[in-house]
Structures are given as C-alpha cells and as structure tokens.
Amino acid sequence: MKYTLPALTLAISAALSGCAMPHSSAVSQPVVDSPVPNVAQPLQRQLAEGLYEMALSPQGDALYVASAEGFKNVQGGAVYTLDPHTLNTIGLTHTDLKNFALQLSAEGKTLYVSNSLDGGISAIDTATGKVKNRLLFSERNEKGRPYGGPSAAVAE
C-alpha cells in the first residue's frame, strides 16, 4: 500500500488520537494580578528663574538651591531652602548679589555661594539664612569686569 504524505499524516493522527488522555474537567484557577512595582514618580514644581545649582545638607533634611532670579531689571538673587522629600519651600534668603554655585561646609552650618558676576563668594549661615561673610576679589579682566563676570550679552 502506497501512501502519500497527507494521507500518511492523517493515518498517524487517527491512530494516535486514541492514545490521548481522557478529557477531564479542569478547574480554572483565578488569574492573580502581579503586583505593580511601586515606582516613585519624580517631584516637580516651579520655583524661580535663573536656577543654577543645588546642595543637599549632610543630614539630608534641607536642599539648597541657588538662583540669580533673572537678569533683566532684577537686582540680586536668592537661595531657596527646600524640604528634599516634598520640595516645599522651608526657607528663603534674599541676597544683594546673584548666586550661582553652592557648597556646604562639612558640618552643614555654612553655605558657600559663588557670586560670579561680581567676582565674589558669600558665606550664609544655614540656621539663620543671613549672609555672615563675603569675599570680593579685586582682580579684573581686560574689560574691567570680574573674571567669570557678565559678558556683553548678559550685561544689557
């Protein structure tokens, strides 16, 4: 007897169908949703114009943010103190110079702020928010401005 491939396949399928396990009524298991991973969403908020740098206190309880507060028709700047968990403002220091870079002392009691446009550095007491000391550098570039000071575009 000569079989073609489709006929042979059909014959093997028919023979094996009798070997199948008897059909049982399986109890369906409820589908369990896998827990969604708890992914923290980043906090965002509007704070001010001219934000430059941040520094976290050594204790992790305060986040300091330097702001130049814009450049047109704005004198001075500000340093914001935020709660690092909520980003709520918990302190604000207004300064007569624009603030850029920040660095905290090792114990977190003094915040050093660069005042690049004026060629200086200010020391702010973190407990009171007051500027307690300032160092202005006398060196000037060929245009008579402090090094790191404003370019013609910023000075306008």
Question: Which pLDDT band, with edges at 50, 70 and 90, does 153 fall under?
Answer: very low
Tell me the C-alpha to C-alpha distance, in Å, between residue 115 and each of 24, 25, 45, 132, 142.
81, 79, 25, 14, 19
Domain 51-155: give its CATH code.
2.40.10.480
What are 78-124's pLDDT values in tens digits? 999 999 999 999 999 999 888 889 999 999 999 999 988 888 899 99
User: What's the pTM?
Assistant: 0.64
